[in-house]
C-alpha cells in the first residue's frame, strides 16, 4: 500500500465563516467521491488559504464531519505572490491506497479550475451520488 497525495482547490465568493466552511466541505466531499475513499483511509489533510481568507479556519468544516474527528488536520497560509488567484482554499489529502498515481483524481472547482486546467474536469459530481 502506498501513500498518495490528492490535490484540490476551490475559491470562495467572500471571506465569511459560513461560506468558507461550506466550500471547504464541498471540495473535500468531491475529492472523496471522485477517489472513492473513506475517512479511515486518510493519513492527514493539509489545508492552505490565501491571505484574504481569515474569517475562520477551513479545517473546522472537516473536523465537524462525522467519522473525520480522528483525521489529523493542519491549516496554513499560502505565500502571497502578486497576481495569484484570490480567495482560494487548497487541500492536500494524504491517503493510504492501492491505486497507482495515474488513477488519483485531483479536484479543482470554481475559479480554481484555472490553476490546473489539465486536472479540472471532474469525472463525477457529489450531486450525482
pLDDT at 120: 59
| Per-residue pLDDT at 121 | 57
60 is catalytic: no
**56-94 b/e (C-beta count within 10 Å ≥ 16 → b):** bbbbbbbeeeeebeebebebeeeeeeeeeeebbbbbbbb
Number of domains in the chain: 1
User: Which residue out of 40, 43, 63, 69 is catalytically annotated?
Assistant: 63
90 is catalytic: yes
Annotated binding site for prephenate: 7, 90, 108
Residue 22 phi/psi, 5° resolution? -65, -45
Contact call for residues 15 and 53 (beta carbons, < 8 A): yes
**Numbers of helices and strands, H then E, in the chain:** 2, 5
Helix (H) or strand (E) holding 100: none
Q: Which domain holds residue 86?
A: 2-121
> Would 57 be classed as within a structural domain?
yes
Choosing from 14, 30, 75, 113, the catalytic residue is 75
Per-residue pLDDT of the chain (129 residues; tens, 9 = 90+): 899 999 999 999 999 999 999 999 999 999 999 999 999 999 999 999 999 999 999 999 999 999 999 999 999 999 989 999 999 999 999 999 999 999 999 999 988 887 877 775 555 444 444
> Residues annotated in the binding site, as ranges?
7, 90, 108
Residue 43 in domain: yes
Task: Mark whether 87 is an active-site residue.
Answer: no
Asked whether residue 128 is domain-assigned, the answer is: no
Contact present, 74 and 44 (Cβ < 8 Å)? yes
CATH number of the domain enclosing 73: 3.30.1330.40
Amino acid at each position: 500500500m502506498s501513500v498518495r497525495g490528492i490535490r484540490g482547490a476551490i475559491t470562495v465568493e467572500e471571506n465569511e465563516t459560513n461560506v468558507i466552511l461550506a466550500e471547504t466541505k464541498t471540495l473535500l466531499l468531491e475529492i472523496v467521491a471522485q477517489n472513492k475513499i473513506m475517512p479511515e483511509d486518510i493519513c492527514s489533510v493539509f489545508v492552505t488559504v490565501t491571505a484574504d481568507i481569515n474569517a475562520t479556519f477551513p479545517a473546522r468544516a472537516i473536523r465537524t464531519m462525522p467519522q473525520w474527528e480522528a483525521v489529523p488536520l493542519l491549516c496554513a497560509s499560502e505565500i502571497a505572490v502578486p497576481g495569484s488567484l484570490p480567495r482560494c482554499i487548497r487541500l492536500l489529502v494524504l491517503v493510504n491506497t492501492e491505486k497507482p498515481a495515474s488513477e488519483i483524481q485531483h479536484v479543482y472547482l470554481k475559479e480554481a479550475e484555472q490553476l490546473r486546467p489539465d486536472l479540472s474536469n471532474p469525472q463525477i459530481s457529489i450531486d450525482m451520488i
